[in-house]
Amino acid sequence: MNDIDRLGTTILGYPRIGPDRELKRAIEAYWAGTLDEAELQRTGHDLRVAGWRSLAGAGLDTVPSNTFSYYDQVLDTATLFGALPARFTELGLSPTDTYFAAARGTAEAPALEMTKWFDTNYHYLVPEIGPDTTFAVHGRKPLEEYREARALGIETRPVLVGPVTFLLLAKPADGAPAGYRPLERLDSLLAAYLDLLATLHDEGVRWVQLDEPAFAADRSAEELDALTYAYDVLGSAAARPRILAAGYFGDLGPALGRLARSPIEAIAVDLVTAPSAVDTVVGEPSLRDKQVLAGVVDGRNIWRVDADRALAAAATLLGSAAEVGVSTSCSLLHVPYDADRETSLDPRIRGWLSFARQKVDEVVLIGRALHSGTGVVAAELEAARAAVRDRANAPALRDPAVRDRLTRVRPEDSRRADHRTRVAAQQEELALPPLPSTTIGSFPQTADIRRARAAHRAGRLDSAAYEAAMRDEIERVIRLQEDLGLDVLVHGEPERNDMVQYFAEQLRGFAATEHGWVQSYGSRCVRPPILYGDVARPAPMTVRWARYAQSLTAKPVKGMLTGPVTILAWSFVRDDQPLGDTARQVALAIRDEVHDLEAAGIRIIQVDEPALRELLPLHAAEHAEYLDWAVAAFRLATAGIADSTQIHTHMCYSEFGDILPAIEAIDADVTSIEAARSRMEVLGDLERAGFGRGVGPGVYDIHSPRVPDVREMTGLLRTALRAVPAQRVWVNPDCGLKTRGYAEIEPALRNLVAAAHEVRTQQHH
Q: Which residues are annotated as catalytic?
A: 703
- Select from 735, 748, 756, 759 the one that contacts ligand GLN (CB under 6 A): 735
The one segment of 125-133, 458-466, 528-536, 732-740 that binds ligand GLN by CB under 6 A: 732-740
Q: Nearest distance from residue 608's CB to ligand GLN, in Å?
A: 5
- Positions 464 through 503 that interact with ligand GLN (CB under 6 A): 493, 499
Is the separation of the CB atoms in 214 and 255 below 8 Å?
no
- Select from 253, 325, 509, 610 the one that contacts Zn ion (CB under 5 A): 610
CA distance 8 to 11: 10
Total residues binding ligand GLN (CB under 6 A): 13
Of 148, 305, 329, residue with least CA distance to 246: 329
- Backbone torsions φ then ψ of 328, nearest 5 degrees: -80, 160
CA distance 604 to 617: 31
Of 18, 65, 76, 72, residue with least CA distance to 43: 18
The one segment of 287-295, 301-309, 380-388, 730-738 that binds Zn ion by CB under 5 A: 730-738
The one segment of 331-339, 469-477, 489-497, 732-740 that binds Zn ion by CB under 5 A: 732-740
Q: Nearest distance from residue 370's CB to ligand GLN, in Å?
A: 42
- Positions 407 through 466 that interact with ligand GLN (CB under 6 A): 440-442
CB nearer to Zn ion: pick between 148 and 674: 674
CA distance 274 to 276: 5
Q: Nearest distance from residue 560's CB to Zn ion, in Å?
A: 12
Q: Nearest distance from residue 672's CB to Zn ion, in Å?
A: 8
Q: Nearest distance from residue 674's CB to Zn ion, in Å?
A: 6
CB nearer to Zn ion: pick between 156 and 671: 671
Query: Out of ligand GLN, Zn ion, none, which partner does residue 442 contact, by CB within 5 to 8 A per kind?
Result: ligand GLN
Is the separation of the CB atoms in 194 and 144 below 8 Å?
no
The one segment of 205-213, 533-541, 597-605, 733-741 that binds ligand GLN by CB under 6 A: 733-741
Strand order through the sheet with 530-536: 508-511, 530-536, 572-573
- Select from 304, 416, 738, 740 the one that contacts ligand GLN (CB under 6 A): 738
CB nearer to ligand GLN: pick between 269 and 663: 663
Query: Out of ligand GLN, Zn ion, none, which partner does residue 272 contact, by CB within 5 to 8 A per kind?
Result: none
The one segment of 32-40, 285-293, 426-434, 728-736 that binds Zn ion by CB under 5 A: 728-736
The one segment of 244-252, 311-319, 644-652, 756-764 that binds Zn ion by CB under 5 A: 644-652
CB nearer to ligand GLN: pick between 114 and 281: 114
The pairing of strands 207-211 and 156-161 is parallel
CB nearer to ligand GLN: pick between 84 and 615: 615
* Rg of the chain on CA atoms, in Å: 26
CA distance 703 to 113: 10
- Backbone torsions φ then ψ of 551, nearest 5 degrees: -70, -15
CB nearer to ligand GLN: pick between 62 and 442: 442
User: Position 16: which residue type?
Assistant: R
DSSP string for 542-585 = SHHHHHHHHHT-SS-BEEEEE-HHHHHHTSEE-SSS-HHHHHHH
Segment (H or E) for 45 = helix 37-58
Q: Nearest distance from residue 698's CB to Zn ion, in Å?
A: 8
CB nearer to Zn ion: pick between 158 and 610: 610
Query: Out of ligand GLN, Zn ion, none, which partner does residue 527 contact, by CB within 5 to 8 A per kind?
Result: none
Of 211, 301, 209, 219, residue with least CA distance to 618: 219
Total residues binding Zn ion (CB under 5 A): 3
3-state SS assignment for residue 164 = helix
CB nearer to ligand GLN: pick between 130 and 733: 733
3-state SS assignment for residue 375 = helix
Helices (H), 182-273: 186-203, 221-235, 254-260
CB nearer to Zn ion: pick between 15 and 610: 610
Q: Provide the mask over 601-620, with x wherever binding to ligand GLN is found by CB under 6 A and - wherever it is not.
A: -------x-x----------
CA distance 435 to 729: 5
- Positions 554 through 583 that interact with ligand GLN (CB under 6 A): 560
- Select from 735, 737, 745, 749 the one that contacts Zn ion (CB under 5 A): 735
CB nearer to ligand GLN: pick between 9 and 704: 704
CA distance 90 to 108: 11
540-564 per-residue burial string, b: 16 or more CB within 10 A, e: under 16: bbbbebbbbbbebeebbbbbbbbbb
- Positions 559 through 588 that interact with Zn ion (CB under 5 A): none
Burial class (CB in 10 A: 0-12, 13-18, 19+), 726: middle
CA distance 204 to 424: 72
Is the separation of the CB atoms in 598 and 605 below 8 Å?
yes
**Rounded alpha-carbon distances, angstroms, from residue 557 to 543, 548, 729:** 12, 10, 19
Q: Nearest distance from residue 103's CB to ligand GLN, in Å?
A: 18
Q: Nearest distance from residue 443's CB to ligand GLN, in Å?
A: 8
Residues in CB range of 681: below 8 A, 6 or more apart: 675
Q: State which residue has the least CB distance to ligand GLN.
A: 736
367-383 per-residue burial string, b: 16 or more CB within 10 A, e: under 16: bbbbbeebeebeebbee
Q: Contact between 542 and ligand GLN (CB under 6 A)? A: no
- Positions 280 through 319 that interact with ligand GLN (CB under 6 A): none
Q: Nearest distance from residue 750's CB to ligand GLN, in Å?
A: 19
Q: Provide the mask over 646-675, with x wherever binding to Zn ion is found by CB under 5 A and - wherever it is not.
A: ------x-----------------------
Query: Out of Zn ion, ligand GLN, none, which partner does residue 738 contact, by CB within 5 to 8 A per kind?
Result: ligand GLN
CA distance 9 to 576: 27
3-state SS assignment for residue 402 = helix
Q: Provide the mask over 621-660, with x wherever binding to ligand GLN is found by CB under 6 A and - wherever it is not.
A: -----------------------------x-x--------
Q: Nearest distance from residue 234's CB to ligand GLN, in Å?
A: 38
CA distance 18 to 119: 23
Q: Can you give the length of the chain in residues?
A: 765
Binding site for ligand GLN (CB under 6 A): 440-442, 493, 499, 560, 608, 610, 650, 652, 735-736, 738
Binding site for Zn ion (CB under 5 A): 610, 652, 735
